[in-house]
A and B are shown apart, each in its own frame.
Chain A
Amino acid sequence: MIDIFPPSEPGLDLRKIDSDTGKAANVLSVQLGSLNHLPEFGIDLDYFLTEDIEFENESFQAYMIQVLTDNGINVSKSIETVESLYRKYTLSVSSNESNSKLVAR
């Protein structure tokens, strides 16, 4: 879906790109309940960071993918990279495809 993105260099116009990555980044960077006008938008990062229970990394990964799906973003691939002191998650998103053609059997 077409979305707008910040200019590649300061001073240039905003860019229009057919991509869901902007929305995906917004979903993952907003704490749930912190937006006044969209209280149900975002992920509950505080919960994972402050709860006493230790979570499996897979749980957090699955949670991210579930929230993204709830927001209409398809995650096609999820790669976990172990760096020296942290883990990095790379999520690939793809746009929704719709097909109204009849399938012959």
Chain B
Amino acid sequence: MSFSKEQGYLPVSLATIMDNIMVNFNTQFSTNYTTQSFQGTNAYKFYYAIAQELQKNEALTADVFLNLQQYIILTNQKISRPVNTNPGIVDKFLEEGYVASVKPMILADAGKINIAVDVDDGAGDYAATKTAIASLISQITVGGTVTEGGQSETIVLSNGQSFDFKFHLPNEIPIILRLTTTLSENNQVLVGSPEDVKLKLFTNINSRYRLGLNFEPQKYYNIQDDAPWTSDVTLEWSDDAGSTWNSTVFDADFDDLFTFALDDITLVES
């Protein structure tokens, strides 16, 4: 039985439990079994079932310690990061199921906060979403802060005072994407079908890119993980319907959001 700060509770191994049983058996019945001679006896069979139960409890105990450690870590994080810091605001929105970004502070914006939330203002339940977001902002921004943005909602506090809380909708930039792949001459694996490649790229971008992040094209599709049959892949984006193509990183403003559909991906194979 052992406990260390670094590793938590280490379950006792089954072999150790069986050895302890053997030592006690030797004491009780004046036998002189060793680990090797004890194995295979009827007594070993009999006690093995009990030892398994003990081992199960050992694992459960270790599990409790692990969960407790995670709980303490989580609580510590909550204590050390109040929600009205910039990362705290982003985290809180994420907890409530929204993707949000905060405008980096500059001197001219002192006392003001600009929050962009990735929601669709054309959705049927947008009125309810808007109220929910404004209510959330009212709880996680400190007094004296002016909220900025195109979307405004009046929130009534518990004492009857009403305030307007504002937020930004994303500045949607429709783009089209072009993925150029070169088949490797040393290829030994199955080449992916165009549909699969497009779907993989689409899934990758959706999981790795969101509001507030720079659009970094070479990060979304790579040879090693996604296309081992290629010798070169290049992803380009265009925000002017294909007149100019860029393979460089798009330095996004806090509310810039690239939008595209699966059909907006073109695949060029060479």
**A residues lining the B interface (CB < 8 Å):** 1-6, 14, 16, 22-23, 26-27, 30, 37-38, 41, 71-72
Partner of B29, one of A2, A26, A38: A2
Interface size on B, residues (CB 8 A): 16
B37:A26 contact, CB within 8 angstroms:
no
Question: In the complex where A1-B33, A37-B48 touch, is A27 in contact with B40 (Cβ < 8 A)?
Answer: yes
What's the least CB distance linking A57 to chain B, in Å? 25
**B residues lining the A interface (CB < 8 Å):** 14, 29-33, 36-37, 39-43, 45-46, 48
Interface SS majority for chain B: helix
What's the least CB distance linking B45 to chain A, in Å? 7
A23:B48 contact, CB within 8 angstroms:
no
What's the least CB distance linking B13 to chain A, in Å? 11
A5–B41 Cα distance when bound, in Å, is 10
Residues in A with CB closer than 8 Å to B42 are 3-6, 22-23, 26
Partner of A23, one of B14, B29, B40, B46: B40
Question: In the complex where A1-B33, A2-B29, A4-B46 touch, is A41 in contact with B41 (Cβ < 8 A)?
Answer: no
A41:B29 contact, CB within 8 angstroms:
no
7 more A-B residue pairs beyond the given contacts A1-B33, A4-B43, with a C-beta to C-beta distance below 8 A: A2-B29, A22-B41, A23-B40, A23-B42, A41-B40, A71-B40, A72-B37
What's the least CB distance linking A43 to chain B, in Å? 12
A1–B37 Cα distance when bound, in Å, is 10
What's the least CB distance linking B36 to chain A, in Å? 7
What's the least CB distance linking B90 to chain A, in Å? 49
A27–B36 Cα distance when bound, in Å, is 13
B37:A3 contact, CB within 8 angstroms:
no
CB pairs A–B below 8 angstroms (25 shown): A1-B31, A1-B32, A1-B33, A1-B41, A2-B29, A2-B30, A2-B31, A3-B41, A3-B42, A3-B43, A4-B42, A4-B46, A5-B42, A14-B46, A16-B29, A22-B41, A23-B41, A23-B42, A26-B41, A26-B45, A27-B40, A37-B14, A37-B48, A38-B40, A71-B37
